[in-house]
Amino acid sequence: MLPKRYLLLPLKVFQHMLENFSPITWILITTFIITVPTLILTSQPEINIGLLNSYQDTNTKIDKTFTNGCIDTTLYLNNEKYVKQNATFIMLTRNNELNEVIESIKSIETHFNQWFQYPYVFLNDEPFTDLFKQTLQNITDSNIFFDTIDPIDWNFNNEVSSNQTIKTNINLQGDRGILYGDMESYHKMCRYYSGKFYKNKIVQNFDWYWRIEPSVKFFCDISYDPFFEMSNFNKSYAFTIMIPELYSTVPNLFRTTLSYLKLNPNISLGSLWNVFTNDYNKLDLDNYDNKNPLIEIDTNSNYLNKIVNYDEEVYDKIYEKIEIDSFLREGYQYNDDGLKKIIKKARSKIPLIDDKFNNLEYNLCHFWSNFEIAKLSIYQDPIYDNYFNYLEDQGGFWKERWGDAPVHSLGLSMILDIDDVHYFRDIGYRHDTLQHCPKNHPNQLPYISNNDKNWNERKGIKYDNVYAYGTGCRCECPTKLRRETEDNNAFCINKWYDLTHNPIKHRKPQFNLTEITNKLEKDFQRNHKPSNDDQSI
Ligand X SMILES: Nc1nc2c(ncn2[C@@H]2O[C@H](COP(=O)(O)OP(=O)(O)OP(=O)(O)O)[C@@H](O)[C@H]2O)c(=O)[nH]1
Residues with a catalytic annotation lie at: 372
Kindly tell me which of 188 and 366 has the beta carbon lying closer to ligand NAG. 188
Closest separation in Å from C-beta 127 to ligand X:
10
Q: Which of 355, 363, 161 is nearest to 252 (CA)?
A: 355
CA distance 131 to 249: 36
Count of positions on this chain that bind ligand X (CB under 6 A): 13
Q: How far is CA 84 from its chain centroid?
A: 30
Q: Taking CB under 6 A as the rule, does residue 249 contact ligand X?
A: no
186 binds, among ligand X, ligand NAG, none (CB under 5 to 8 A by kind): ligand X
Q: Taking CB under 6 A as the rule, does residue 147 contact ligand X?
A: no
State the binding string over 155-194 for ligand X (x if CB under 6 A, else -): ------------------------------xx--x-----
Q: Taking CB under 6 A as the rule, does residue 156 contact ligand NAG?
A: yes
Q: Taking CB under 6 A as the rule, does residue 510 contact ligand NAG?
A: no
CB-count burial class (<10 Å; 0-12, 13-18, 19+) for 140: buried
Kindly tell me which of 30 and 204 has the beta carbon lying closer to ligand NAG. 204
Exactly one of 95, 135, 290, 292 binds ligand NAG (CB under 6 A); that residue is 135
385 binds, among ligand X, ligand NAG, none (CB under 5 to 8 A by kind): none
CB-count burial class (<10 Å; 0-12, 13-18, 19+) for 416: buried
Q: Taking CB under 6 A as the rule, does residue 163 contact ligand NAG?
A: yes
Kindly tell me which of 95 and 290 has the beta carbon lying closer to ligand X. 95
94 binds, among ligand NAG, ligand X, none (CB under 5 to 8 A by kind): ligand X
432 binds, among ligand X, ligand NAG, none (CB under 5 to 8 A by kind): ligand X
Element (H, E) at 32: helix 23-42
Closest separation in Å from C-beta 162 to ligand X:
21
CA distance 90 to 12: 71
State the binding string over 56-95 for ligand X (x if CB under 6 A, else -): ------------------------------------xxx-
Kindly tell me which of 98 and 445 has the beta carbon lying closer to ligand X. 98
Closest separation in Å from C-beta 189 to ligand X:
4
Q: Taking CB under 6 A as the rule, does residue 99 contact ligand NAG?
A: no
Q: How many CB atoms lie within 10 A of CB 414?
A: 20
Exactly one of 20, 234, 502, 535 binds ligand NAG (CB under 6 A); that residue is 234
Q: What's the angle, vertex CA 410, arms to CA 157 and CA 65, rounded to 5?
A: 125
Exactly one of 67, 68, 98, 125 binds ligand X (CB under 6 A); that residue is 125
Q: Helix or strand or coil: residue 225? A: coil
DSSP string, 464-478: PPB-TT--BSS----
Q: Taking CB under 6 A as the rule, does residue 143 contact ligand NAG?
A: no
State the binding string over 369-408 for ligand X (x if CB under 6 A, else -): -x--------------------------------------
Kindly tell me which of 100 and 452 has the beta carbon lying closer to ligand X. 100
Q: How many helices (H) and strands (E) does the chain have?
A: 22, 16
Kindly tell me which of 188 and 341 has the beta carbon lying closer to ligand NAG. 188
CA distance 387 to 393: 10
CA distance 36 to 479: 27
Q: Taking CB under 6 A as the rule, does residue 165 contact ligand NAG?
A: no
Kindly tell me which of 431 and 439 has the beta carbon lying closer to ligand X. 431
Element (H, E) at 495: helix 491-501
Closest separation in Å from C-beta 382 to ligand NAG:
6
Return all residues near 401 (Cβ < 8 A) that are at least 6 apart: 173, 178, 179, 180, 181, 186, 187, 190, 249, 250
Exactly one of 25, 38, 158, 380 binds ligand NAG (CB under 6 A); that residue is 158
* Helix/strand/coil percentages in the chain, nearest 5: 45, 10, 45
CA distance 209 to 233: 17
Q: Helix or strand or coil: residue 49? A: coil
Backbone angles phi, psi at 340, to 5 degrees: -55, -40
CA distance to 207, 261, 282, 318, per residue, from 303 (Å)? 47, 21, 12, 11
214 binds, among ligand X, ligand NAG, none (CB under 5 to 8 A by kind): ligand X
Binding range to ligand NAG, per CB under 6 A, among 35-43, 130-138, 209-217, 351-359: 130-138
Kindly tell me which of 134 and 348 has the beta carbon lying closer to ligand NAG. 134
Q: Taking CB under 6 A as the rule, does residue 300 contact ligand NAG?
A: no
Report the chain's C-alpha Rg in angstroms.
Answer: 30
Q: Helix or strand or coil: residue 208? A: strand
Q: Which residues of 269-306 are buried (b: 16+ CB within 10 A; e: fewer)?
A: bbbbbbbbbbbbbbbbbeebeeeebbeeeeeebbebbe
97 binds, among ligand NAG, ligand X, none (CB under 5 to 8 A by kind): ligand X
Interface residues with ligand X (CB under 6 A) are 92-94, 97, 124-125, 185-186, 189, 213-214, 370, 432
Interface residues with ligand NAG (CB under 6 A) are 86, 134-135, 138, 155-156, 158, 163, 205-207, 233-234, 264, 266, 284, 382-383, 512, 514-515
